[in-house]
Structure 1
Amino acid sequence: MHRNYPALRHLSDKSSARSIHSLYNKGRICQLALEFSELDTFARVLKVNDKRHLLHHCFQALMDHGASVSDILADTFAQQLSPPTCQDVSARDRAIQLGFQLGGFLCDAGWFSASETVYKACLNLCQMDKAYLHKSLECSVGLLHVQNANCKYTAADQTCQIARQTLEELQSLNLPVNAAAFYTECCALLFAECQYDEAIKFCSRAIQALSKTLPNKTIVDVLRQCSKACVVKREFSKAEVLVKHAVCYAREKFGDKHPKYSDALLDYGFYLLNVDSITAAVQVYQMALGIRQSVFGGKNLYVAIGHEDLAYASYVQEYSSGRFNDAKEHAEKAIEILSHILPEDHLLLSSSKRVKALILEEIALDSLSKEAKEKNLQEAQELHLQSLALARKAFGENNVQTAKHYGNLGRLYQSMQRYEEAEEMHLKAIKIKERLLGKDDYEVALSVGHLASLYNYDMEKYAEAEKLYLRSIAIGKKLFGEGYSGLEYDYRGLLKLYRTTNNLAMADHYHDILHEWNTIRDINNAVEVKPLEFSITTNFEESVKKCFS
């Protein structure tokens, strides 16, 4: 091939980076693919940190073009780590350093399988010599992070044991360690597996190990992951402190266009959604998606996740209005991207399908065409059943994620007028959630409210429905207060129930309560939402450690 550019292996690191960007800007994708496929060339470009966003753009363009540079680089790295090539200490040090840089970049770019290949090879090299114990810990934590992100939880459990043994060995030698990063990844793994009580324990350990001397990335990840653990345990005041510090710290250290800032925003959106600040959550998710689109673009996994999170938040926001076009568009975009880069049975793809199924069900209920309604409901059922099967395979029956899928099927079967099946699904969901989360958890309230609706509107089990509605209301008010958005459906359900059973006094009572609820919501909605207009007055060490003292 004729080249108008010198071979990049003969250039300095910064000159190589400039040439790479020039090739990209001129659309020289084939030549760019050749250069990126050479590990030595790519290694030099990786050293230029101030152009990382441009490197992500170039790399993503190649992946979209069908050039599997992520796997080529990873496989080349792994093949070069044969014992003869790493005999002397300096060669081994260089190889390990490159492994961290390459594995970290591939993870940051969303190519988890390739990143895992690099980290595994690097870890094997580290484990050959006790002098690399610190590197072994760092590498195993990096591998654990990638496996968590890629939903490879069985492999992650094994890596977690390796990391724990390495950490304990270092501590037995009284050597300083970055325990916060390890505890955070343990928290993330347990969170994903819905072992929330255990996750919060590791959250506390990570917070106690937090210090300003740690890498900025580690600090942000500790704060935001621990916030998520607090959210699912309904410890909202702790979660708020943690995630707001994560947002501020990420913005200060990385800037407001960096992927790490978008990570913090997504977890802030998760917090806002769970404390019923829906409009604020949608705004924050939109910002996070915008950053990821500008940094990566194309068919990128992180962009897809941003679309999925925004799809779900938009679905919740428009639940009462029925305007689901934006939510459906984001869900379909997430599925389109993930279908391009992941196996069809991947849990991340399953999650996006679940969101689309929820949206399709609501669209079906508002459809004037019988044919369109049946088509949407049938597609929603297929998506829900696929998601349930994958959840059961990954987590087993006794898991909150599995319970959520049962609950989703229960709602769908109600819409399809398959009432006995709907009741069976809701009862399964409630039983699992109560066993794992307790009787007064938000997730339990959701399932209880859905079963109440089934009994009230379709099965004429009014006494059972009344008890369930009152239970759901009590949990909702306890967690979120009198203005909680979810109360509307329970109040309207009770209003219908009492009118149907001719209990006019109670019907009037709940008519008044619903009016009061609407007044509270109108007052709340009149306040302009500015979710990022807050300030942090204390440093993160002082503030967050106080929460867990």
Structure 2
Amino acid sequence: MDGIRYGPPLKLYHLCINEIIAVDETSLCQRDFRLLPSTTLSDLYERLYQERKLWVIYKGFNELDIFSRLLQVKGKSTFLISSYQTLLNHGSTVTDTLLQTFKQYVLMETMSLRVLIDTGLKMGSFLNDGGWFEYSIRFLNLTTKLILKIGELTTEILKILLECYKLKLYAESHYCKFTAAKDTYKAAHEVIQKLQDLKAVPHLSVIYANFSMYHFLCSEYNESYKWAQKSISLLSNDLTKREIIEVLRQASKSCVVKREFLQGGLLIRQAMNLGEILYNKDQLPTFSNVLMDYGFYLLNSDSIGESVYVYERALNMRNSLFDRNNILIALGHEDLAYALYVNEYSSGHFQSAKKHAEMSIDMMELLLPKDHLMLASVKRVKALILEEMALDERVNDKLKRDLLNTAELLHISALKLSRDNFGEKNVQTAKHYGNLGRLYQSMKQFDEAERMHLKAIKIKEELLGPHDYEVGLSVGHLASLYNYHMKKHKEAELLYIRSIEINIKLFGSSYSGLEYDYRGLIHVYTQLSDPYKVSEYNSKMTKWKALRERVIIIRYKEPLLPPLEIVNTFFTNARGKSENHNQNKETAVIENEGHESRSMNMSRNLNQTTVNQNGKSKNGCL
């Protein structure tokens, strides 16, 4: 029956399935469909899902041998993930049941080791796709033991073990189990070395991308970028489209945090092209991930309005896929909340951003253990939003105090989580110090604000060097504190100039964040009674506004390139090697999908923004 997939017989095939599902649920539950071919079995369960006969699906999905067969059918990931999440949303313990069955099979050895290992790998991959990382780790830990139990680690077994470590590293890193991830990372390196000794090295592009992802999530950006370059250098036609996407999107993020926007833009646009192809082939989970990373690129490359649109699109996809109560939805709400916060920073309209941040927190607290590290980031986002809401002149003193006190508690909680997991010398920890510095400035605790900013700068300089974007961001925040509150205008002058130099080097003369530095220097020179400098920076502000008007509208859909051409273009676009690099930075580039008028309006609105009452610039977009 598997072969009847086209032409007139297809109608008969569907009629047969319709006849089966027309039976009442009680009778259906009593039938054993395991004799059906895998493809037919998958089609049957998909029709049952469409008819919302969830009890029958639950009975089938609880059987590990049936569910593992469904995982083998290509082009069914959207249906499988949606139906699986629906069962979870109805209180099903299907994952625990499958895991318990897998454990029993392992203990009783009722199936061959190879079949069990294949089942464990497929379950780990599926659970990773659905964001169920904790259970993926459990399946893959058991699978690792099974592989090592085989005995002699032949070339074939080593390759299977490396595949297991690849999936395990992905799950552990995304679930913020960094101690375990470090061990898996080390073990994967040892396997690669053994394969190299045997002169049987498999394709390493995807595992290198996972190495990059691990360092990225640990905020070790130099290492992340190094492995991203290695993963890109190995791209080839031997990889599947999905594997190429995974390499492209991770490498793009690593480029973004290193401010290599030409490289990052190339990679994420190519990932978008391939993602559209897979999306049309029922690969919605993969495409929603690509969209999230495209939003990350846009947000950090000063295309803020467009990033909001892309994040909204990605979140809508995840909502349609999972409905509710999934960590990937929670992360989508968090990223959209932050993009809205940055986009509305000058307007002061933060209600939508606050709503998404709170939805993310509520979902994470439902799904994650107490004090899980994922909560640190979204608590930070909510604290930033509450702080800006408190600075609204229409807010009364009591509400202002309440908002600021709540923001302080959130920031302190986030800082503790970061220090407990990453230690003191980490970029994320430094960012939390900087956020507290901004908050204490708003709370008029200026000495404490200065102490926090200096801590942030010291850590960032030590980790990233003196010219990194993150350093420039913290320097600008300290400058505003000195300028508007501590009357240290000469110190503020030097800090503003340093911030401007860093931003122009990284983003060009049209960068939106330069507004805050220029306005700050105008205020500094006004206080220092230096009319010539005031005139100079008023002139720079005028030129900056003119540059902001020169918006280039381009689409992300550039021609789809073959892997080797992506590799060549990527390394050609390294910083300083592209003739167009500086030219591209001289104008604000808004990348979109045909929303020209909205992008132009967004750009013009930027020219009308004002710095808030504390002279503080918006937070960075990492």
Name the TM-score class by shorter chain: over 0.9
The equivalent residue for 2:301 is 275
Q: Distance in 2 between matches of 1:317 and 1:19?
A: 46
2:211 aligned residue (186, 208, 211): 186
In structure 2, give the amino acid aligned to 1:459.
M
- Contact 1:8/1:35 (<8 A) preserved: no
Q: Distance in 1 between matches of 2:31 and 2:461?
A: 60
The Cα of 1:112 is off from its aligned counterpart by 0.5
The Cα of 1:79 is off from its aligned counterpart by 2.9
The answer to whether the aligner puts 1:248 opposite 2:267 as a matched pair is no
When residues 409 and 8 of structure 1 are mapped into structure 2, their CA distance, relative to the original with a 3 A threshold, is farther
The equivalent residue for 2:102 is 77
The Cα of 1:312 is off from its aligned counterpart by 1.0
The answer to whether the aligner puts 1:463 opposite 2:486 as a matched pair is no
2:464 aligned residue (437, 446, 449): 437
Q: Which has the higher helix share?
A: 1
The Cα of 1:18 is off from its aligned counterpart by 4.4
The answer to whether the aligner puts 1:203 opposite 2:224 as a matched pair is no
Q: Secondary structure at the match of 2:110?
A: helix
Higher alpha-carbon deviation: 228-237 or 34-43 = 34-43
The Cα of 1:174 is off from its aligned counterpart by 1.7
The equivalent residue for 2:86 is 61
Q: Secondary structure at the match of 2:348?
A: coil
The Cα of 1:341 is off from its aligned counterpart by 0.7
**How many residues are matched?**
541
The equivalent residue for 1:454 is 481
When residues 211 and 8 of structure 1 are mapped into structure 2, their CA distance, relative to the original with a 3 A threshold, is farther
- Contact 2:270/2:561 (<8 A) preserved: no
The Cα of 1:2 is off from its aligned counterpart by 7.3
In structure 2, give the amino acid aligned to 1:453.
S
The equivalent residue for 2:14 is none
Mapping of 1:226-305 within 5 angstroms? 226-255=251-280, 258-305=284-331
- Contact 1:78/1:117 (<8 A) preserved: no
- Contact 2:434/2:474 (<8 A) preserved: yes
The answer to whether the aligner puts 1:347 opposite 2:370 as a matched pair is no
The equivalent residue for 1:484 is 511
When residues 538 and 31 of structure 1 are mapped into structure 2, their CA distance, relative to the original with a 3 A threshold, is closer
Higher alpha-carbon deviation: 537-546 or 446-455 = 537-546
The answer to whether the aligner puts 1:402 opposite 2:425 as a matched pair is no
1:358 aligned residue (384, 390, 412): 384
The Cα of 1:322 is off from its aligned counterpart by 1.0
Q: Secondary structure at the match of 1:346?
A: coil
The equivalent residue for 1:422 is 449
The equivalent residue for 2:591 is none
User: What is the TM-score normalised by the length of structure 1?
Assistant: 0.93
Q: Distance in 2 between matches of 1:83 and 1:57?
A: 32
| Unaligned runs of at least 5 residues, structure 2 | 1-23, 573-622
- Contact 2:28/2:56 (<8 A) preserved: no
In structure 2, give the amino acid aligned to 1:458.
H
- Contact 2:245/2:275 (<8 A) preserved: yes
User: What is the TM-score normalised by the length of structure 2?
Assistant: 0.83
When residues 214 and 8 of structure 1 are mapped into structure 2, their CA distance, relative to the original with a 3 A threshold, is farther
Higher alpha-carbon deviation: 432-441 or 325-334 = 325-334
The Cα of 1:195 is off from its aligned counterpart by 1.9
In structure 2, give the amino acid aligned to 1:123.
T
- Contact 1:360/1:376 (<8 A) preserved: yes
Q: Distance in 1 between matches of 2:137 and 2:183?
A: 14
The equivalent residue for 1:391 is 418
Please provide the CA RMSD for this pair.
2.1
When residues 498 and 442 of structure 1 are mapped into structure 2, their CA distance, relative to the original with a 3 A threshold, is same
For residues 219-267 of structure 1, give each alpha carbon's deviation from its aligned partner in whole angstroms, at most 9, with x where no partner exists.
Answer: 1111111111111122221112222121112222443861212212222
The equivalent residue for 1:93 is 114
Q: Secondary structure at the match of 1:440?
A: coil
The Cα of 1:515 is off from its aligned counterpart by 2.6
1:544 aligned residue (563, 567, 582): 567
Q: Distance in 1 between matches of 2:465 and 2:265?
A: 23
- Contact 2:58/2:87 (<8 A) preserved: yes
When residues 142 and 378 of structure 1 are mapped into structure 2, their CA distance, relative to the original with a 3 A threshold, is same
The equivalent residue for 1:121 is 142
Q: Distance in 1 between matches of 2:567 and 2:135?
A: 35
When residues 4 and 363 of structure 1 are mapped into structure 2, their CA distance, relative to the original with a 3 A threshold, is farther
Q: Secondary structure at the match of 2:325?
A: coil
Q: Distance in 2 between matches of 1:8 and 1:435?
A: 65
The equivalent residue for 1:37 is 62
The answer to whether the aligner puts 1:217 opposite 2:242 as a matched pair is yes
- Contact 2:357/2:382 (<8 A) preserved: yes
Higher alpha-carbon deviation: 480-489 or 34-43 = 34-43
| Unaligned runs of at least 5 residues, structure 1 | none
In structure 1, give the amino acid aligned to 2:537.
Y
Q: Distance in 1 between matches of 2:455 and 2:119?
A: 49
Q: Secondary structure at the match of 2:92?
A: coil
- Contact 2:192/2:201 (<8 A) preserved: no
For residues 177-196 of structure 1, give each alpha carbon's deviation from its aligned partner in whole angstroms, at most 9, with x where no partner exists.
Answer: 12112211111111122222
1:499 aligned residue (501, 514, 526): 526
Q: Distance in 2 between matches of 1:95 and 1:198?
A: 35
- Contact 2:273/2:560 (<8 A) preserved: no
For residues 285-311 of structure 1, give each alpha carbon's deviation from its aligned partner in whole angstroms, at most 9, with x where no partner exists.
Answer: 222222222222211111111111111
The Cα of 1:448 is off from its aligned counterpart by 0.5
